[in-house]
Chains A and B, each alone.
Chain A
Amino acid sequence: MAALGAALTVFLAGVAAFLVLRWAGDALSPPRPTDPHRVPFQGGRPPEVHAWSRFHVRYYAMTLIFLAFDMEMVFMYPWAVVFLEEGLVAGVEMLMFIAILVLGILYGWREKAFRWA
C-alpha cells in the first residue's frame, strides 16, 4: 500500500511539474508570430511563390577545390610521419603532388570560381 502511495505521489508530482513547465513555457514565450510576420522580408511585398526551389549551385567549383585540399591533408598526415625516414625523396614527391593540385587552383581562378559577388 505504501509503495502504491509513493508511486501515485511521484506520478502526481510528475504531472504537476509537466503542467507547470508547460504553463511557464507559454507564459514566457513571445506571442505566436502571425502569418504576415512569418513571410520573408523582401522590401515590403509578400512573396508570390514558395521559396522551395531548385537552383544552380554555382559555387560547386570552389567546393571541389576545397574537397581536393581537404583530402590532401589526409595524405599529409602519414607523409609527415615517414618524412624524416625517407628524407628528400618524400619532400619532392609531396611537392609534385601539391603542384598538381595547384594547377586545379589556377584553373578555378581562370573560371572565376573565387569571385565573391
Chain B
Amino acid sequence: MGLRPLARLAAGPVPTFVVPGRGGRRAADDLRLDGRLRLVDSPRAAAVLLVAGTLTDRLLPAAMLAHDQIPGPRATVQWVPEGRRDRLAGTFSAPVLLRGDVDVGAAVAATYRELLAGDRPSDPPVYPDVPPAPWRGAGPYGQGGKGMSGGVPYGRPLAGRAPDRDGLELDRLPLEIGPLFPPFPPGLILRIDLQGDVVQQVAGWENALAFGRPPRDIFRRALREPVALAELEVARARHHLRWLSGTLRLHGLPALGLRVLVLARRVGPGDVDAVASLKRKLERSRSLAWATRGIATLQPEDVRDGPGGPVARSAGIRDDLRTEDPAYRGLGFEPLTRGEGDARARWRHRLAEAVQALELAGRAGDRLVEAAGGVESPRGALRIGGSPSADLLSRLPALLPGREWGEAVALVHDLDLDMEEAVRAAREEAA
C-alpha cells in the first residue's frame, strides 16, 4: 500500500464535529485544548463525529443527520462519561465506544489514522437516500414545479411571503436552528421566522436535552446543604471565564478564547491579578469593543422580575441573592451593576464579577453559605423547582424579534443558557 506513508503525513489535527449530549458540554469544550483535534463548526468540515455524553431521543435524529453530512471517509466515536448511562449508544453502525475517564483525543486520532490508512471502512449513511418530497421530472425544466413560484424544487416547498418591516412583500423563511448549532447552547432548538437577516418571530423552542434530572453542580448542591463560600465563588469565577472563552470565539478571537479557557480551568483565589489584568487587556482591545458595543442591547424592562444574574445586572437591575446572605454581608459584599445592557457591557460585567468572586473567595476563610430558598448561581437566582435558564428561555420570543441574525446569535450566547438545567421544574421536584 503505497498510500500509507502519505496517509500518515496527512494526519494532522483531526477535524472533529462534536455532538454534546447530556453531561458532555464541559468535556467537549475542554477538547479544544487538545492539539490532536480541531473542533469544527459544521459537519461538512469534519471527518470524525464525536458524540460526547448521553444522547437523548430528541438529540439522536440531529446527530444522525450531522453524521450523514460528514463527507466520507468518516467515522463515529461515542464517549460516555463516568457515571452516565449509555442510552442509545451503538445507534450508529460501527462506532468506537469509549467509557469513563479515557484519553478521548488519542482515541479520535487513532480512529482517524485507521480511516486514512484504509484499515477502517467509512461509516455508511444512516438515513436513506430519498428526497423529502418527489420532485424529479416535474416542471418544464425538471426542477420540481411551475417556474419560481410553485412546486417543490429539490423536494422542498418555497417560502411564503409576508410584509417586511420596510413595507415590502418579501419571503419569510421558517427555520429550525439547533440543537447542534455551535454558537447556541447545545440542545436548544429555536424555531424562528427570518426575513433576510432580520428575525421576525420566534415561533417556539424545544429542549433536546430535557431528559432526567438537572446536573448536580456546586450551586445546585448549595440549595440543599451548606457549602464553603470560597468554593462557590471560585466556581463562579471559573464559570464566567469559561463563558468568556466562548464569547471571544464567537466574536472572532478564538486563540485568545483558548488562553482564557486555560485560565478558566485552573483559576483560584490567588489569581485575582491575572484576571484583573486580562480584564484591562480586553477593555483596551479596539476590535472587541467595535464588535460588541451597541450590539444586542437589553433594556431594563426586558430582564425585570426575572432571575437577575449578570445579564440583568449588566442592564442596570440590582438583583442579587447574595445581598440577603449573612455570610456575604459579613464580607461587605455589594453587587456590581452596569447601565449599558449591550454585549460589551455583558462581557465586561462578567469579567468584573469574576474578579470580585476571586477576591471574595480569598477573604472568605471558612465561611459557609446556607441557602435560604435560593442560591445566586452564575446565571442568576437558582431555586428548588426553578432555574434561571428556564426563565431566560421563556423570554426569547420577546427578546429576539426585530434583531438582525448576528445580534440574535450574540444575545442567545450572552444569556448563557444551560438546556440541561432548564428541564421542567416538575421533574426536579419529583426527583
Contact = CB atoms under 8 A, between A and B. Distances in A.
A35 B127 CA distance: 9
Interface residues on A, range: 20 to 34
A33 B166 CA distance: 40
Nearest to A32: B129
Interface in B146-181: 148, 152-159, 161, 164, 166, 168, 170-171, 173-181
A49 interface: yes
Given A49-B157, A49-B173, A44 B61 contact: yes
27 contacts: A30-B72, A35-B127, A35-B155, A36-B68, A36-B69, A36-B129, A37-B71, A41-B42, A41-B44, A43-B179, A43-B189, A44-B62, A44-B178, A45-B189, A46-B65, A48-B157, A49-B158, A50-B159, A52-B148, A52-B159, A53-B158, A53-B171, A53-B173, A54-B161, A55-B171, A55-B197, A56-B166
Nearest to A44: B62
Contacts of B161: 54
B95 interface: no
Interface of B: 42-44, 59, 61-63, 65-66, 68-69, 71-72, 125, 127-132, 148, 152-159, 161, 164, 166, 168, 170-171, 173-181, 184, 189, 195-198, 291, 295, 404, 406-407, 410
A90 B125 CA distance: 69
A48 B148 contact: no
Nearest to B174: A48
Contacts of A50: 152-154, 156-159
Interface of A: 30-31, 33-37, 39, 41-58, 117
B166 A37 contact: no
Contact of B130 (A30, A35, A51, A117): A35
A37 B125 contact: yes
Contacts of B173: 49, 51, 53, 55
A116 to B, nearest CB: 8
Contacts of A44: 59, 61-63, 65-66, 178-181
Contact of B129 (A35, A48, A117): A35
Contacts of A57: 196
Contact of A56 (B153, B168, B177): B168
A44 B186 CA distance: 11
A50 B153 CA distance: 7
Contacts of A35: 127, 129-132, 155
Residue among B43, B69, B155, B181 with most chain A CB within 10 A: B69
A11 B370 CA distance: 92
Contact of A117 (B72, B180, B195, B295): B295
Nearest to A47: B156
A117 B175 CA distance: 20
B294 to A, nearest CB: 9
Given A50-B154, A117-B295, A34 B127 contact: yes
B102 to A, nearest CB: 26
B196 A55 contact: yes
Contacts of A55: 170-171, 173, 195-197
Contact of B159 (A41, A53, A56): A53
A37 B106 CA distance: 28
B43 A49 contact: no
Contacts of A41: 42-44, 66, 69
